[in-house]
Amino acid sequence: MRTPWLRICIVPNERPLPLPFPRTRRERASCRRKDTGVRTLLILAALAGVAALSGAWFVYSGLYNLSATQQHTAPVYWLLNVAMRQAVKHHAQDIRVPPLRDPALIDSGRRLYGAHCASCHGAPGIAPDAFALGLMPVPANLALTAREWKNPAELFWVAKYGIKMSGMPAWEFRLAEVELWAVVAFVRTLPALSPQEYRAAIAGDHDRHPVRADAPGPAAGADAPRGRIALQQYACVSCHVIPGVVGAASPVGPSLARIGSRKYLAGILPNTRETMVEWLRAPQRVAPGTAMPDLGVSVRDAQDIAAYLETLR
Amino acid sequence: MIRAPAACLQFALLGGLVLAGCAGPDAGPTDATVRAARAEVQHGALALQRYGCGACHRIPGIAAADGVVGPPLVDMARRVYIGRGLANTPQNMVRWIRAPQAVAPLSAMPDMNVTPTDAHAMAAYLHRSE
């Protein structure tokens, strides 16, 4: 059976060619005359197939070293860095930056930074904690980041949403918008902050630890799509199979399939929006001895999660 | 435990072969223990049906077991916790099935007076390798 390019590249004497690479002038001329591009497409498809197969082989071979002591190869590192920088720029472009020079805001940001950021990123004259030194990539020195990233909205975006597979967590469900901006305001002062000044400033901070504001942002009715994101942010996915949530496939606790139709929660509560919120916020009080931990879920987040779970009917 | 010898049996029937190691004394579980384990799993399926567990739980492999009162009993062999924070061992499964209120007072799961034999068989069914 002749494939399309065989028919296209037949010389006048009907001798089939060692295709797809014609050798003589006549053969080439024959092909040039009649090549409709099909042959080129087929060659490209074959090359793409070979590339995909070698890629699949490489992945399954397990040869790429994912350990946290081994940096990516230089090309992969470059690629990831560019992708990260571009993604941050793109997603932060429409964020409106509030005034960030208010000393009170910077002051509050310094306390939040000391409580939540310094353990990984360090601070002027202060090293990151031991665990953070073993992270790959190692958390950035934010004095440099603050100097090089001109748009404060980019710092805000990274702090709020985090960065996949980098170790940078999202703070969206932990800090209110105003607190996130306070952190950004403080980070922007880092390049000009000496270790002595920083030490002097935090000397009085210890007994003034920031307290997490419950329900950051406006509680404007239960928001099921946001609840679906919250299921990830409260690590629900590491113990439950949850339909509709990618990566929620762990059978540590019961599957949440059809949880919206379930009659009882934890075996004791009739399943309503209110009892679900109660259960999500205080499992240890509702069912003492349960393996489900208290995760500090705010009222708003619990309501959103409950709204999503109700859709699993 | 259950599938491998079955596969060996099929090979033997299909090819007329007796594969060394399949039925030999070094093959681990002997035919008798394999048959006993299979019988217990089958007994477990029957018991789950007879005690009406399917009225409250979805149980794969059990006819009409599609209840949504309690959680679905899917992938139970891989579950880490059962009942009220019990480690998912065969003993704990039996304990939970036989006396739920002793583990979790006020639990909606009723005490069905399951006999020890039936409870063991149910645990064997739920923990079978699928």
CA-wise closest residue to A121 among A136, A147, A145, A141: A141
Q: Which of B74, B78, B104 sits opposite A267 (nearest CB)?
A: B104
Reported as a single tens digit per residue, the pLDDT across A50-94 is 999 999 999 999 999 999 999 999 999 999 999 999 999 999 999
Residue for token digits 């042959």?
A: A39
Chain A positions in Cβ-Cβ contact with residue B72 (cut-off 8 Å): 254-255, 257-258
Nearest residue of chain A to residue B57 (CA atoms):
A262
Residues A136, A69 contacting (CB under 8 angstroms) = yes
Does B110 reach chain A within 8 Å, measured CB to CB? Answer: no
Query: Does residue A116 carry a pLDDT above 60?
Result: yes
Lookup: tokens for B91: 């003993």
Q: Predicted confidence band at B117 (pLDDT cuts at 50, 70, 90)?
A: very high
Mean pLDDT for B41-60 is 97
Residue for token digits 């075996």?
A: A267
Distance from the A136 Cα atom to the nearest Cα atom in chain B, whole angstroms: 30
Distance CA A289, CA B84 (A): 6
CA A234 to chain centre: 14
Query: Does residue B4 carry a pLDDT above 60?
Result: no
Query: Does residue B47 carry a pLDDT above 90?
Result: yes
Chain A positions in Cβ-Cβ contact with residue B84 (cut-off 8 Å): 267, 287, 289-290
| pLDDT of amino acid B58 | 97
Distance from the A291 Cα atom to the nearest Cα atom in chain B, whole angstroms: 4
Reported as a single tens digit per residue, the pLDDT across A254-264 is 999 999 999 99
Query: Does residue A21 carry a pLDDT above 80?
Result: no
Mean pLDDT for A178-200 is 96
Distance CA A261, CA A244 (A): 16
Kindly report the backbone phi and psi dihedral angles of residue A166, in degrees, each rounded to the nearest multiple of 5, phi listed first.
-115, -10
| pLDDT of amino acid A276 | 98
Distance from the A39 Cα atom to the nearest Cα atom in chain B, whole angstroms: 48
Distance from the A288 Cα atom to the nearest Cα atom in chain B, whole angstroms: 8
| pLDDT of amino acid A39 | 85
pTM of the model: 0.79
Does B79 reach chain A within 8 Å, measured CB to CB? Answer: yes
Q: Predicted confidence band at A207 (pLDDT cuts at 50, 70, 90)?
A: low
Does A289 reach chain B within 8 Å, measured CB to CB? Answer: yes
Q: Which of B80, B84, B106 sits opposite A252 (nearest CB)?
A: B80
Q: Predicted confidence band at B8 (pLDDT cuts at 50, 70, 90)?
A: very low
